[in-house]
Amino acid sequence: MGSLWPEGHSSTLLCVGGSPGPEGLIASGAEGGEVTLWTQEGAIVGRLVLPGQEDITSTAFSPADSARLYVSHGDTVSVLDPRNLKGPVENFQGAGEEEINALALNETGSAVAVADDSGAVRILEIPGGRVCRSLRRHTNICSSVAFRPHRPNNLVSVGLDMQVILWGLQKTRPLCTLNLQDVAEEEDAHQQRPGQLFNPPLAHCVSVSSCGNILGCAAEDGRVHLMRIGSGSKLEQHGAIKAHTQGASQVHFISFFSHPYWMVTGGNDGQVALWDLGKHPVVAPEGKTGKTQATASQRRKGKSSGRRREQAQDKSKKKAEREEAEEDDDEAAAKEQEESMEEEKSGPKMSISHGDKVNGLCPAVLKGEPSIIVADQSTNLTVYPLSQL
């Protein structure tokens, strides 16, 4: 089903990113400082090994200038020119306090955010690379960062402290914080069987939908945690999908489908999954609210008429009616639980057994065909077409 793009690297792939535009290039990064540029057909445009041979942990093209490719390695962000891949155009050394795990650009290309091992998030001004903001709230490694579309002063970061933080850059303080461990414990209290164990929800990757309101966070518990940000940049609702049987390593919203709530995930279980979240309660909470209210109304009505029947009947029938009502309640509860389980089981629109741990994902339109590019533990990229959707 997938096609390989071989011979681009000699070391394990770590990341992949795409340039905007119909003819945009693809950039992949690997261990040992390897950067490779590809055409949309999978032909190699150029290869480079950066001095120092530090692992390339993230690649991102500027949304405003396709001639600027940003790559992170060690505590440095290097700027490359895809048209002349001979060496860095600029080096922003010390961009991170420690090793950088991920970088992200805002929509205008005027700022780069870097997440590092110290837990700090730093904002670099472009051009120049001057550190203009340092955001400190994570108590462990900060693993991923993303700007909110249409909101240039909002930034989301996640880390191995299980925190999801929405930042307001004007005052360099969190606007809201969600602890995934607390959320997972609440959910597990209702769902978990005795003796059942889950990995802690260490946060590995965050993505924001193109509308800017829905966040997805891939975590070590195999879930992708979903959050809706409302007016005033406050958390309105959260939920999760059980996406993978092992840790979820990647999540990316897709901008080129029918609505902004399509999402692709990858995991340590070697699975790549495509999701349509258009009807998920976090994305469309009004639908679930209406259903819940209607169900509650029906229950109240049923109980009320039940009481009237009991008053109209003699004591000899009360016991039988109570038993019958209890059976009805048990059936209704079982049906409700079954519906809830069906909702949980409304799984991905497409599930791909990739077979290797997923290190990086890049949704892209390649020569007009919607596709997913996968970077894994090997030295080859894999491309999966989504044309059957």
Q: Provide DSSP, 241-260.
A: EE--SS-EEEEEEESSSSST
Paired tokens of 326: 């209890």
Instruction: Give dist(CA 330, CA 334) in Å, integer.
Output: 6
Site of tokens 């000899």: 316
* Whole-number pLDDT of residue 195: 46
Q: Is 330 helix (H, G, I), strand (E, B) or coil?
A: helix
Instruction: Give dist(CA 389, CA 386) in Å, integer.
Output: 6
Beta strands in 220-368 (DSSP E): 223-229, 235-242, 248-254, 262-267, 271-276, 350-353, 358-366
* Whole-number pLDDT of residue 332: 54
Instruction: Give dist(CA 379, CA 324) in Å, integer.
Output: 65
Region label for 32, one of left (φ > 0), alpha (ψ between -120 and 50) or beta (otherwise):
left
Paired tokens of 251: 């999540």
Task: Provide CB contacts within 8 A for 316, sequence distance 6+.
Answer: none
Q: What angle do CA 170, 109, 235 make, to 5 degrees?
A: 45
Instruction: Give dist(CA 350, CA 141) in Å, integer.
Output: 32
Site of tokens 């096609």: 3
Instruction: Give dist(CA 252, CA 205) in Å, integer.
Output: 9
* Whole-number pLDDT of residue 38: 98
pLDDT in tens, the chain (389 residues): 799 999 999 999 999 999 987 789 999 999 999 999 999 999 999 999 999 999 999 999 999 998 999 999 999 999 999 999 999 999 999 999 999 999 999 999 999 999 999 999 999 999 999 999 999 999 999 999 999 999 989 999 999 999 999 999 988 889 999 999 998 777 666 555 444 456 899 999 999 999 999 999 999 999 999 999 998 888 889 999 999 999 999 999 999 999 999 999 999 999 999 999 999 999 987 644 333 333 333 444 444 444 444 554 555 555 566 666 666 666 655 544 444 444 445 699 999 999 999 999 999 999 999 999 999 999 999 999 998 66
Paired tokens of 177: 């914080």
Instruction: Give dist(CA 3, CA 24) in Å, integer.
Output: 19
Instruction: Give dist(CA 19, CA 25) in Å, integer.
Output: 5
Region label for 249, one of left (φ > 0), alpha (ψ between -120 and 50) or beta (otherwise):
alpha
* Whole-number pLDDT of residue 298: 40
Helix axes 315-345, 285-312, angle to 10 degrees: 170
**How far lies 252's CA from each of 205, 208, 237, in Å?**
9, 8, 19
Region label for 350, one of left (φ > 0), alpha (ψ between -120 and 50) or beta (otherwise):
beta
Over its C-alpha atoms, the chain yields an Rg (Å, rounded) of 24
**How far lies 12's CA from each of 19, 70, 77, 218, in Å?**
22, 20, 20, 21
